Homo-oligomer: A and B are copies of this chain.
Amino acid sequence: MRATVLHAPRDIRLDDVDDPQLQLGTDAIVRVVAACVCGSDLWPYRGLNPVNEPTRIGHEFVGVVEQVGDAVSSLTPGDFVISPFTFSDNTCALCVRGVHTSCTNGGFWGHPDKQGHATDGGQGELVRVPWADGTLVATPSQPSQEMVTQLLTLSDVFPTGHHAAVSAGVTAGSTVVVVGDGAVGLSAVLASKRLGAARVVAMSRHESRQQIARRFGADEVVAERGKEGAAAVREMLDGIGADFVLECVGTGDSMKQAMLSARPGGRIGYVGVPHDVQLNVPQMFGRNIGLAGGIAPVRGYIEELLPDVLDGSITPGDVFDLTVPLDQVADGYRAMDERTAIKTMLSL
């Protein structure tokens, strides 16, 4: 089969690799229908995370079950499935508490499972899925092509934005500021409105991203960044700042902007993978600013979010502004790297 391999920074290729085989009775093999590129894929792509050897990549995909192991009970070949960006058994003490990203038996696409068998990256034709019953969520019927685009966001980007909002504790009637206008930040705008936020401020300098933010329900847009941006936010929100701030970037600067945008007693939900983020604890303490979030336990959210996607009441797939066939994956990465695309979908 063909699968995406990162050979070195900015050297990404579609290579011929071995087809995956069932290794355990709890496995399934999924034929990928659509995948996408994540902002976090850009860290190794840009060489900001080290790339020491050719590495399979990608962790967001939907597809059709091709084969199941004999211990798989809830899936049958032909089912259309959504895969979260981590695999998990959905039964361990941490999964039942909703922290599937810390599953005792879980792991990450492209890395070996706990039994030591390699797993596939999500940007390829086939993926061996460990703990298939626990990992995959099947849709009630076969989706249309347009619906595939929407469902693909449930693999990572939309539930990650949702996790920022849930971690912060966004409530109906509250004020929310979203730092970051990437696909996750835009998803966080949509998630906040879905949870009933009264007033959502998107911080964005880019016209095309501002438009999607507005379509997702942003009530206001602030183009300034840093201290100036936070000052504009505070002035807009009773002079005190927001009840909740969703940090969807992961840099030291974006976290500082988030801290300055929160009102005393406010909460920050953060889902930007932290790179060199230092927290000023005495300042947080004095202003009672809380911080929660982390790697999004997507598996636990899919069933909650799926009905709203299926009935069309939300269209999180609007974050995709570029679709390329799998064999043009390099173009897809380049466009995101150069920020000419917000998020790239790979069709198969």
Contact = CB atoms under 8 A, between A and B. Distances in A.
Contacts of A288: 99, 101-102, 167, 292-295, 297
A34 interface: no
A265 B93 contact: no
Nearest to A97: B265
Contacts of A278: 281
Contacts of A284: 291, 294
Nearest to A284: B294
A30 interface: no
A207 to B, nearest CB: 31
Contacts of A264: 94, 99, 101-102
A277 to B, nearest CB: 5
Nearest to A282: B274
Contacts of A267: 292
Contacts of A295: 285-286, 288
A193 interface: no
B263 A97 contact: yes
A292 B286 CA distance: 11
14 contacts: A93-B238, A94-B265, A97-B243, A97-B265, A99-B288, A167-B290, A265-B297, A285-B294, A288-B292, A288-B295, A289-B294, A290-B290, A290-B291, A290-B292
3 smallest CB-CB distances across A and B, nearest first, come from: A290-B292, A102-B264, A99-B265
